Structure 1
Amino acid sequence: MNQHLAALTDNVAVTALKVSGGRFINNNYLVLNRRTGQALLVDPAWERETVDSALKAANAQLAGILLTHAHADHIDLADTLANEHGCPVWISRREAASSGFSIAALRTFDEQPWEAAGMLVRPIITPGHTPGSACYWIGNHLFTGDTLFIEGCGLCPDSDAASRMYSSIQRLKAMLPGKVQIYPGHSYVQPPGLTFERLFRYNVYLSFDNVEAFIKFRLRPGQAKSRWMAFS
């Protein structure tokens, strides 16, 4: 790793912010570059005071917002914070097109890495929960939204979406080092930040190697009432 790339991937600190709005309980994340004092927010929603307090405690300047997908519980504060801090908001081009999400600060991407807040952001497009869901790989941390939880994966509306989710999870399995820490959009039992290799202890969806079996299990009856569901 060259010195410039090392500078972009080292010195990254993550603070998980558990927030709620009605029946929704989400994880927002403050991703701080300890070297520069700049920060990114992942999927900020609802509790404005929680976000403001985290920025203040870290003495951080907000340099950008990363959205894993366009469901309301993941975008709620994006426009407000972007306007106040004068920072960009990123979402995948595919997600913006499929959802119609559009704000003045929006920037879209395909899968090219970019630098933000002095950190290297590597997006991974992971369709399934939504057509353009994305994960963000920053340093040794992967922010997975509603693609991959510690104990499960996000809801899929139909068999086509479940097939895409299977492919997305298989792709993550193929590319991620075991020591990468996983930060999902929702937590149920285990806390965010577990290593990817530890997820295999808790997450049955990582064990499938057949798409038909995966689809049948993901779309089994009763998911709308399951406490393991993604609420978005």
Structure 2
Amino acid sequence: MTGSVWLVGAGPGDPELLTLKARRLLDEADVVVHDRLGCASVVQELPPTTRLIDVGKSPHHHPVPQDEINQILVRGARAGHRVVRLKGGDPFVLGRGGEELRSCREAGVACEVVPGVSSAISAPASAGIPVTHRGLSTGFLVLSGHEEVDVDQLAATAFTIVILMGMYRLPTLAPALVAAGKDPLTPCAVIQEAWSDRQREVRAPLSQIAVESARAGLANPAVIVIGDVAEGV
């Protein structure tokens, strides 16, 4: 008997921000393979009969390699289980969901994607920051803080810049953007642990955002917003 895999977005962590389909699939799942971010409060509400497999990653620490995660999903489905791969935010926004979908399809395992609310949009929203706003920004860029970026190109964009998991890079990225020509007075915001009772925010100009965030003790998980919209509406 062959089961199935669902790649389900958990959203930013508030269980009420799950989609109805995500909630149903979680209740019906035999196995839930979950991440660290955006999933803790969600998995606590699952039926006690659900088998939980924690494959959560933290910056520079991946206890379960991605290839092994792929195999866990395939093995579970081949054993006839209904497997939910629960991923923080949206599976296809810096979540490696595409790799997991491809692995399942190559193994002949049925796999379906259930979108989630990405922290790239929802974390700024929790602080009253729209990533686009008429007269301020007509688009936004979403970047991973783990990857190198073209600073000159980034400094030239008129779009809102949203950076996920980039707090360790902020002290070098912010001055680099200023050196590349970005206005040092560009509004910025950092939102830590959005949609939780631990949420904290810092707002400051680009030239000061790293210093003010460090002074406030902000750290990952956090979302960085650079652009005029960061002043809020």
| TM-score bracket for this pair, using the shorter chain length | 0.3 to 0.5
More strand by share: 1
Higher normalized contact order (CA 8 Å, seq sep 6+, divided by chain length): 2
